Structures are given as structure tokens and as C-alpha cells.
Amino acid sequence: MTNTVLEQMMNRRSVRAFTGEAVKDEHLELILKAGQQAPTSINGQQISLVVTRDKDSIKKIAEIAGGQPQVANADVFITVVIDYVRPGFATFLAGEEIVIEKSAEGLLVGAVDAGIMTNALQTAAESLGYGSTAIGGIRRAPEEMIKLLGLPPRTYPINGLTLGVPDANKLPAVKPRVPLETFAMHEKYNAKTVADGVKVYDATLREWWDEQGMTEMPSYTVSTAAFYKSVYFPKVATTLRAQGFDMEQPEWMPEVDTFDG
């Protein structure tokens, strides 16, 4: 493949082992600038980042996330924050009062924008030779992340990512995905196709784990069920409401169908 961007994307992997070398300041600034250029709904820019380099704070984040060593050993941790303080102030300056954070749509907008931002940050980091893993585990104890980062109401730490110099001797192989035709369906969704893909992928992933010498790892169906058979981060709803995200749609709110990133 001669397209370096596509080659990088096709070889994306979660890097969990780092050398301990520092991320260069000038590279970190470039990564943050690249992330900032990611699109946001209506150009509201309702995402902020909190960049953590203090080692004790990173270790605390690792504990919050359930004791994840790939977090503890990272040189940088970036928390992606849904932030309606910024558009709230903009709305105030326009003589209005913001209410979007009190709706399901407001939460969805923030979550979508956070995902786009995370991908942009990781892509930029990988282009500069750094490794990264997206971390949703900070939602295990979101109230502790809110306290650690000093997050005010109308903000929420939705996910984060590690940054560091990858240990070339511990790079994982690229993990396979479900068959393309069961992921990208043309014209209409087909539930049978999706179900068939699950069965195929369960065997594919089992074979892949075995090839890595990690026979103890569970199959796709078993690992997915282990998480999704319950609400595994049960404090999210409570802390969302405490931060002002009560998801009660005002009856008078006008519908807006636009996306201008």
C-alpha cells in the first residue's frame, strides 16, 4: 500500500507498553492542535481536553480506571471532556440561556464529538510515532475524575487516551474485525448478516488469540457478554445528573438539523 494515511489507519492498534521516554513538548502541541481541528456539531466546540503529565496524577487516573497498567505507565494522559461551559457562555453573550445539556440530544452531541476528537488525537499521535489506547475506564468512578480535574457543572469526563513512546518489542499484532460485509451494509441494515458475522468473528478472534499465544483470552461472544450483561459502570447516570446532564427535553426546544464543523 502506497497511501501512508491509509496504511497507518489499517495498522492501528492499541499500544499498552511504553518505553518510558517522554512525549516531546512540540509533538504534544501538534497533537493537541490536530485534535482541535476535528469537527464538532454546529461548530459549538463543546469538547475540552485536560492534559495530565504529573506522574502521581496519572497513577491516580489508572486507579480510577480500575488499576490499568497501560495508564499508569503512560507519559501523558488526555481526558476528553464534554464541555457546555463554552457554548453556555456563548449563548449567554447572545442574550439566551443554554439548555441543551439537559437533553438526550445534548449528551449524544457531546459523545459523538468526543469520539471524533479521540480518533483525531490518536491518529495525530501515531503519525508522529507515538502509541495510544482509548480509555473508557475513567467512567468507572467518574466522580473521582471530576474531583481530580476540577470539572465544573456542564462538563463531563467521557473518555481519555494514553500517549507514550511504544515499546517496539511489545507491539501487539493488528486485531481482526468482523467481516466487512457484515459491518458495512449497502442500502439497508440486515440483522441476519450481522448475526452471521458474529459467528464468523467469534471463530476468527479465537484463532487470532491462539496465534498470539494468549489462549487464556476469551472469545468475542464471551468477552462481550461479560461486559454487556450488566451496566458495568453504574455511576455514570448519577454523576451525569449531578453535573447538569439531566436529559429532560424541553417541549419548546426548536429542532435544528445542521452540522457545521
**All domains in the chain, ordered by first residue:** 4-172+230-242 (3.40.109.10)
pLDDT digits (tens, 9 = 90+) for 147-176: 999 999 999 999 999 999 999 999 889 999
pLDDT digits (tens, 9 = 90+) for 240-259: 999 999 876 555 555 555 44
The torsion angles phi and psi of 163, rounded to 5 degrees, stand at -140, 140
Q: How far apart are CA 184 and CA 226, in angstroms?
A: 26
pLDDT digits (tens, 9 = 90+) for 38-89: 999 999 999 999 999 999 999 999 999 999 999 999 999 999 999 999 999 9
Could you say which DSSP state residue 183 is in?
T
Full-model pTM? 0.91
Q: How far apart are CA 131 and CA 12, in angstroms?
A: 9
Could you say which DSSP state residue 131 is in?
B
Average pLDDT, the chain: 93
Q: How far apart are CA 219 and CA 196, in angstroms?
A: 16
Read off the C-alpha cell for 163.
500517549
Strands 76-83 and 47-52: antiparallel
Give which of 132, 145, 139 is closest to 34, Cα–Cα: 132
| Residue 156 near residue 243 (C-beta atoms within 8 A) | yes
Could you say which DSSP state residue 20 is in?
S
Read off the C-alpha cell for 245.
446532564
